[in-house]
Structure 1
Amino acid sequence: MAQQRGGGVSANGGTRAIVAALAANIGIAITKFVAFLLTGSSSMLAEAIHSVADSGNQGLLLLGGRRAKREATPQHPFGYGRERYIYAFIVAIVLFSLGGLFALYEGYHKFSHPVPITSWQWVPVGVLVAAILMEGFSFRTAIKESNLIRGRQSWVRFIRRAKAPELPVVLLEDFGALVGLVFALFGVGMTLATGNGKWDALGTAMIGVLLVTIAIILAVETKSLLLGEGAEPKDVAAIERAVAGGPEVERIIHMKTLYLGPEELMVAAKIAVPPCETAEELARGINAVEARIRSAVPIARVIYLEPDIYRAAADRAGAESEPAVRSDARPDEVAGPGS
Structure 2
Amino acid sequence: MSATGSRRVIYAALAGNALIAVTKFVAASVTGSSAMLSEAVHSLVDTGNQGLLLYGLKRASRPADKSHPFGYGMELYFWAFVVAILIFGLGAGVSAYEGIMKLRDPHPVSNAYVNYIVLALALVFEGLAWLAAFRHFRSVKGQRGYLEAVRLSKDPTEFTVLFEDSAAILGLIVAFAGLVLAEVLDMPMLDGVASLLIGAILAVTAVYLARECKGLLTGEAASPRMVRELEAMIAATPQIIKQNELLTLHFGPSEILLNLSVDFADDLTSAEVEACVTALERQIKSRYPEIRRIFIEAQSMSESGLPIGDR
Structure 2-normalised TM-score?
Answer: 0.95
Inter-CA distance 54–107: structure 2 relative to 1 (3 Å threshold): same
Give the equivalent residue in structure 1 for 2:74: 82
AA partner of residue 244 (structure 2)? I
Contact kept in structure 2, 1:230 and 1:259, CA below 8 Å: yes
Q: Secondary structure at the match of 2:250?
A: strand
Please state if 1:32 is matched with 2:24: yes
* Cα shift readout 1:143-182 (whole Å, capped 9, x = no counterpart): 1111111112221112221100012101110000000000
Q: Secondary structure at the match of 2:266?
A: coil
- Aligned counterpart in structure 2 of residue 115 of structure 1, from 107, 113, 119: 107
Q: CA deviation at 1:278?
A: 4.3
Inter-CA distance 242–206: structure 2 relative to 1 (3 Å threshold): same
Please state if 1:328 is matched with 2:306: yes
Q: Distance in 2 between matches of 1:30 and 1:277?
A: 71
Please state if 1:47 is matched with 2:39: yes
| 1:236-255 matched pairs, under 5 angstroms | 236-255=227-246
Give the equivalent residue in structure 2 for 1:15: 7
Q: CA deviation at 1:241?
A: 1.7
User: Structure 2 regions of 5+ residues with no counterpart?
Assistant: none
Q: Which moved more, 1:289-298 or 1:131-140?
A: 289-298
- Give the CA RMSD over aligned residues: 1.8
Give the equivalent residue in structure 1 for 2:63: 71
| 1:1-339 matched pairs, under 5 angstroms | 9-118=1-110, 120-275=111-266, 278-309=269-300, 328-329=306-307
Contact kept in structure 1, 2:244 and 2:301, CA below 8 Å: no
Contact kept in structure 2, 1:46 and 1:106, CA below 8 Å: yes
Inter-CA distance 278–127: structure 2 relative to 1 (3 Å threshold): same
Q: Distance in 1 between matches of 2:249 and 2:222?
A: 6
AA partner of residue 107 (structure 1)? G
Q: Distance in 2 between matches of 1:163 and 1:232?
A: 9
Q: Distance in 2 between matches of 1:242 and 1:297?
A: 12
Structure 1-normalised TM-score?
Answer: 0.87
AA partner of residue 121 (structure 1)? A
AA partner of residue 44 (structure 1)? M
Q: Distance in 2 between matches of 1:25 and 1:310?
A: 57
Q: Distance in 2 between matches of 1:159 and 1:177?
A: 19
AA partner of residue 288 (structure 2)? V
Q: Distance in 1 between matches of 2:78 and 2:268?
A: 48
Q: Secondary structure at the match of 1:328?
A: coil
Q: Secondary structure at the match of 1:195?
A: coil
Q: Which moved more, 1:159-168 or 1:246-255?
A: 246-255
Q: Distance in 2 between matches of 1:87 and 1:217?
A: 15
Q: Distance in 2 between matches of 1:129 and 1:327?
A: 64
Q: Which moved more, 1:244-253 or 1:274-283?
A: 274-283
Q: Secondary structure at the match of 2:67?
A: coil
Contact kept in structure 2, 1:254 and 1:327, CA below 8 Å: no
Q: CA deviation at 1:39?
A: 0.5
Q: Distance in 1 between matches of 2:301 and 2:197?
A: 63
Q: Distance in 2 between matches of 1:245 and 1:155?
A: 33
Q: Distance in 1 between matches of 2:120 and 2:256?
A: 44
AA partner of residue 216 (structure 1)? V
Q: CA deviation at 1:194?
A: 2.8
Rg: which structure is higher?
1
